[in-house]
Amino acid sequence: MSQTPPPRARAEIDLAALRANVRALRARAPQAALMAVVKSDAYGHGMVPCARAAQAAGATWLGTATPQEALALRAAGIQGRVMCWLWTPGDPWREGIEADLDMGVSGLWALTEVTAAARETGRPARIQLKADTGLGRNGCQPADWPELVAAALDAEAEGTVKVTGLWSHFACADEPGHPSIAAQLDVFREMVAYAEKEGVEPEVRHLANSPATLTLPESHFDLVRTGIAMYGISPSPELGTHEELGLRPVMTLAASLALVKQVPAGHGVSYGHHYVTSHETTLGLVPLGYADGIPRHASGRGPLLVGGERHTIAGRVAMDQFVVDLGGQKIHEGAEALLFGPGDRGEPTAEDWAEAAGTIAYEIVTRIGTRVPRVHLNEDSDE
Ligand SMILES: *Cc1c(COP(=O)(O)O)cnc(C)c1O
């Protein structure tokens, strides 16, 4: 008698697609190791299952922004190399050392904190010195590099650290031909050469993110750090679509219609009445809103597939819901609305949503809220 109602909404995460993407990226950088970047809950895809799937497909490193994320991987029992790079004074260096993390160091303050923690634990810390080769964000400026390198070598001599890596990050790798790319490569080579001449023996030198992995073989060095491409999303429209890059989107965002009703012509829809029905029609209520990461900027623009037909959001996206004008479509409550996915069934992609909302697809998937359950599919490795 009783039927389980479909859930309000869910993000299906296809781990087989993620593994295939990791293999495709490894094939693009065959000489380098691959770091699966799983920061920010794996760009909204669920950190631990994605980390395991990436490892199963041959990622030998995992990368996170914060130490708390890296420690959460260890707490889940994940082994292998784990690196994190966004440290703030007072962060858990000691726990990082005990958890065998590789820790990014961008300045002297961090070196001071990590060596103090290493003295307390009695174990050397694995650190990776980050150079600011032109991004102008985290990392050590070329002018300050000799001092940081010298201090790191002193700490190595004292036995409190081991410098396992030298690394940097691109500013414009998603804009092929941008002059900053060649400039950053030059500065990186110089800063690495300086550190090595002074006596640093890094295990890995690395610079490439997803766009550089896909387009710049000379940037691969010993390790590539891939995030967005691993989730099957093109880093930018300029590089082509995910299909053109040989990638498959991992996340499908679906919801069940919460209400379907007839309304007369001239009826305003959602806050502000920015949409008004032109004739008698059927409205469908999609129970997802900006609290779930549906961009309010996509009001009146966001695409979706309902019952096999493409539609556009009618009026404003509210906190928990938005409306779609289904025209004459015959459909009932509980019918599936596909917001984005790989596109196989005619549904839009995260890239389409990025365009509709005037943002990047990174933001579309990463901002899907915690109220949307992640359902991980194809967890068992296919190899
Ligand atoms: C997020 C991040 C990456 C991954 O970037 P993608 O463009 O998603 O591949 C690589 N390196 C660092 C330092 C990052 O912060």
CA of 227 to the centre of ligand 1 (A): 6
Active site residue 39: yes
Range of the domain at 313: 251-377
pLDDT at 92 over 70: yes
Q: Please choose, from the candidates 200, 96, 222, the residue with its C-alpha nearest in 3D space to the C-alpha of residue 148.
A: 200
The answer to whether position 23 is within a domain reads no
- Strand bridging mode 125-130 / 161-167: parallel
Ligand 1 contacts CB of residue 85 (under 6 A): yes
CATH of the domain at 43: 3.20.20.10
Looking at residue 380, its pLDDT comes to 86
Whole-number Å distance between alpha carbons of 303 and 305: 7
pLDDT at 247 over 50: yes
Which ligand 1 atom is nearest residue 37's CA?
4
Both 168 and 284 in one domain: the answer is no
Structure tokens at 204: 């890995």
Ligand 1 contacts CB of residue 225 (under 6 A): yes
Ligand 1 contacts CB of residue 235 (under 6 A): yes
Both 226 and 256 in one domain: the answer is no
The answer to whether position 16 is within a domain reads no
Both 276 and 354 in one domain: the answer is yes
The answer to whether position 6 is within a domain reads no
**Residue 246 CB coordination number (10 Å):** 16
CATH of the domain at 288: 2.40.37.10
Ligand 1 contacts CB of residue 228 (under 6 A): yes
User: What is the rounded average pLDDT of the residues 248-253?
Assistant: 98
CA 355 centroid distance within chain: 18
Both 259 and 224 in one domain: the answer is no
Confidence bin at 187 (pLDDT 50/70/90): very high
3-state helix, strand, coil in the chain (%, to 5): 35, 25, 40
Both 276 and 355 in one domain: the answer is yes
pLDDT at 210 over 90: yes
Ligand 1 contacts CB of residue 93 (under 6 A): no
Q: Residue 56 to residues 191, 227, 242, 312, 323: CA-CA distances in angstroms?
A: 34, 16, 22, 38, 41
DSSP letter, residue 217: G
CA of 296 to the centre of ligand 1 (A): 26
Mutation choice for ligand 1 from 204, 209, 250, CB with most ligand atoms inside 8 A: 209
Whole-number Å distance between alpha carbons of 355 and 90: 39
Both 256 and 163 in one domain: the answer is no
How many domains does the chain contain in total? Answer: 2
Which ligand 1 atom is nearest residue 229's CA?
9
The answer to whether position 11 is within a domain reads no
Looking at residue 7, its pLDDT comes to 84
Residues 6 or more apart whose Cβ sits within 8 Å of residue 210: 25, 226, 227, 228, 229, 230, 235
Structure tokens at 184: 């950053």
Convert the pLDDT of each residue in 227-246 to its tens digit. Answer: 999 999 999 999 999 999 99
Whole-number Å distance between alpha carbons of 176 and 169: 15
Q: Using alpha carbons only, what angle is made at residue 226 by residues 354 and 93, rounded to the nearest 5 degrees?
A: 110
CA 133 centroid distance within chain: 22
Convert the pLDDT of each residue in 96-155 to its tens digit. Answer: 999 999 999 999 999 999 999 999 999 999 999 999 999 999 999 999 999 999 999 999
Which ligand 1 atom is nearest residue 209's CA?
9
Which ligand 1 atom is nearest residue 138's CA?
13
Both 224 and 261 in one domain: the answer is no
The answer to whether position 240 is within a domain reads no
Structure tokens at 348: 């839009």
CA of 162 to the centre of ligand 1 (A): 24
CA of 83 to the centre of ligand 1 (A): 12
Which ligand 1 atom is nearest residue 85's CA?
13
Looking at residue 6, its pLDDT comes to 65
* Residue where a domain stops, chosen among 171, 196, 230: 230
The answer to whether position 10 is within a domain reads no
CA of 378 to the centre of ligand 1 (A): 25
Both 372 and 340 in one domain: the answer is yes
Mutation choice for ligand 1 from 225, 351, 362, CB with most ligand atoms inside 8 A: 225
What is the Cα gyration radius of the chain? 24
User: What is the rounded average pLDDT of the residues 34-50?
Assistant: 98
pLDDT at 1 over 50: no
Looking at residue 5, its pLDDT comes to 58
The answer to whether position 15 is within a domain reads no
Whole-number Å distance between alpha carbons of 211 and 207: 11
CA of 225 to the centre of ligand 1 (A): 6
Active site residue 290: no
Both 51 and 101 in one domain: the answer is yes
Both 224 and 258 in one domain: the answer is no
Ligand 1 contacts CB of residue 130 (under 6 A): no
Whole-number Å distance between alpha carbons of 358 and 355: 5
Both 58 and 189 in one domain: the answer is yes
Catalytic residue among 39, 130, 275, 362: 39
The answer to whether position 271 is within a domain reads yes
Q: In what order do the strands lie in the sheet with 259-263?
A: 259-263, 281-286, 322-327, 309-314, 303-306, 336-340, 251-256, 9-14, 374-377
Share above pLDDT 70 across residues of the chain, in percent, rounded to a whole number:
98
Q: Please choose, from the candidates 24, 44, 10, the residue with its C-alpha nearest in 3D space to the C-alpha of residue 244.
A: 24
Ligand 1 contacts CB of residue 206 (under 6 A): no
Convert the pLDDT of each residue in 326-349 to its tens digit. Answer: 998 999 999 999 999 999 999 999
Both 88 and 196 in one domain: the answer is yes
